[in-house]
Structures are given as structure tokens and as C-alpha cells.
Structure 1
């Protein structure tokens, strides 16, 4: 039996201690699940050398970018924002049969001409899967990225933790962590046609 739990630290602008998009008293999100496709990014363990491997973090190609339009128009002047998601440092630590994984998720948003409220409301997901791509646990996270002053491009960092209770004979190498932006069907088709 494998047990998963997700936790997230407050989103913050890079180089800033503020936490836009999260209410100050909000507790981290958590999902616990009991259970019987992309661009590979960083997946090395940090800190003390560990003989057992970390899971591999993957950003799904089709869900790595988002272009959010204002209404049905698809002209450049209809763009509310563009977003990209990447994984950063991945750190894992074993405590007997429990694997604690911390993954940095970097979101970059660019303000479009149709964005009058100077805010990008973005939703992304993190999923834990077996190496055969069977999804075992999935959680979605909402972030609101402001465009302060006259800034039109903002980068922010969020830290996501996963706790995996490993069945006998398994280690982090038996799992993948998939990350991507949550897209509408139209946004997915736009990505496939343009990227």
C-alpha cells in the first residue's frame, strides 16, 4: 500500500518575500491518496549522498505553456497573459520506507494587451505516477500573479512537497512527478497548433 500527501508553501515572486495569490492565514493544501508524457527536467537529489534514487520530475510538453485569451478572439490584442511552467530543484530524503520529496515549481507570466486588471490567475497540477504512467495521486494549485508597477513579465516560485510511503522493494526510481498548467480543450489545441 502506498500513501501520498501533497503540501505547498506560499507562492512568492522571485526576489520578493510577499505571497500574492494566497491569503495570509491559509493552510497549505493537502491531498492523501491510498493506492494498491513530456520534457525531463532536474531530478537529482540534493544534500547528503543517498544510495536510493529520487523520482524523476517531468513537465508535460503540451501543458508547459498557456495563452489565455479574452473571449473568443485569437488576435495578439486579445491576449490576457501567457504563462510557462518549469521545475527547479528537486530534493528527496528517505526515512526507512517513507520518501519526502520537495520540488520547486517556477511559473513565468507575461501580461498581454487585453489584461486591464494586471493579474494572471493560473492553475497548475502536480501528479505522482508509477513509471508506467499510471497516476496514483494528483493535486491542482491556484496562483494569482500580479504585475506590479509597469512590469509586464513576472517570475514566481512555489515549493511543492510530496510524502510517499513506499511499498516493500520500491524506491523513488519507481515513481515520476508530472507537472503542467491546467488548460481548457481550446488552449491545449492552441498549444499543439503553435508550439
Structure 2
């Protein structure tokens, strides 16, 4: 009986027009290549917003934000452009100078070649909501359709990158590049 069942299963599959047609009907084909690597840009993965006339002290913080994780899923379809979706996890903090229990942060998502050339860049907003005056919050945002422009089906997604970062002012970028850092849970 152990021998007959596998032979019977093979005969049933062989009776179909082809196993390739069967796989395509379920759209369960494996991707033709790797998905583009995703991640946050180190200099833009965090933001510290200070109140007016700040000396960059912990007590001067209005809000902080950090990109904590970026995940992706992609799908190859013939020689069409590669499509991807990403999820971005954020952590937020509210400091002594905060003026609301909600705050919006701007961020961007860029598609680049592996050599760093930016092919496309879109801007988004994520809202931090601090329930009950809590000092910490988090959010996850999903971006459904990112198009990776492949020249033809021989170009794999691994030739591209999807990068995420906060939309920073020159001062905020300089703060990050100087290696300065405040986290809202640093004082606890």
C-alpha cells in the first residue's frame, strides 16, 4: 500500500496537461530572484525634535522617533517591473516640551540601484499617538505598491535596494551625524 499511493499520486499529476500549468494555476511559483534588500539609512533612522531655543538637553525634547524594523515582500511576474510591499515599524517618544498627545513625522521610501543612484523617492507621514498621556508609542505602516523598474526578466531584485528614512532638517541630520542620541526611555 505504501508503494501504490505515491505511484497513484504521480499518475494523477501526470494526467494533468503539465505540472507547470498546475503550479501557475495556483500562482505558487517561486520568485525568479531575490527581493531587493530593505532597511533604514543610518543617518536618517531616528529623529529628535527639540523645543524652541534648545540647548539640545534631554529636558528640551519635544518628540523622538526611530525606525526599528523594515520588512518586505516582492513578486516577480515575467519581464514586468518587480512589485514590492514593505512594512515599517516605528517607536516614538514624547518629551517635556511636547505640546500634544499626537504628532506627525514625515519619512521617505526610496528605490535605489545598489550603487546608490536613487531611481524613485516617495514621501509619507506617520502619526504618533500617545494614549493617556503616555511618553512612549509605536506604529507600523504598510506601503502596498513599490515598483522596481527592471529592464527585463534577467534583472534580479538584488540589483536594487529599498531604503527608508525620516525627512530631516539640516540641523536634525547634523545632530544624527555627530553621533548624538536621545531616547525617551533613557531617563528611566
TM over 0.5: yes
Deviation by residue 1:112-163 (Cα, 9 ceiling, x = unmatched)? 1111212222011100011111001001112221211132111100012302
1:120 counterpart (76, 90, 103) = 103
- The residue that corresponds to 2:64 in the other structure is 82
Q: Are the equivalent residues in 1 in contact too, given 2:38–2:70 (CA < 8 A)?
A: no
Confirm or deny that 1:134 pairs with 2:126.
Answer: no
Deviation of residue 171 (structure 1)? 1.8
1:107 and 1:185 map into 2 onto residues whose CA distance is 21
Confirm or deny that 1:177 pairs with 2:158.
Answer: no
1:167 counterpart (132, 139, 151) = 151
> Which is richer in helix?
2
Unaligned ranges ≥5, structure 1:
1-46
Deviation by residue 1:73-103 (Cα, 9 ceiling, x = unmatched)? 1222221111001333211111112311111
Q: Moved runs in structure 1, 4+ residues, more than 6 A?
A: none
2:49 and 2:149 map into 1 onto residues whose CA distance is 38
TM-score (norm 2): 0.73
1:72 and 1:57 map into 2 onto residues whose CA distance is 37
- The residue that corresponds to 1:72 in the other structure is 53
2:66 and 2:151 map into 1 onto residues whose CA distance is 35
1:143 and 1:184 map into 2 onto residues whose CA distance is 17
2:30 and 2:78 map into 1 onto residues whose CA distance is 15
Q: Are the equivalent residues in 2 in contact too, given 1:109–1:120 (CA < 8 A)?
A: no
1:153 counterpart (124, 130, 136) = 136
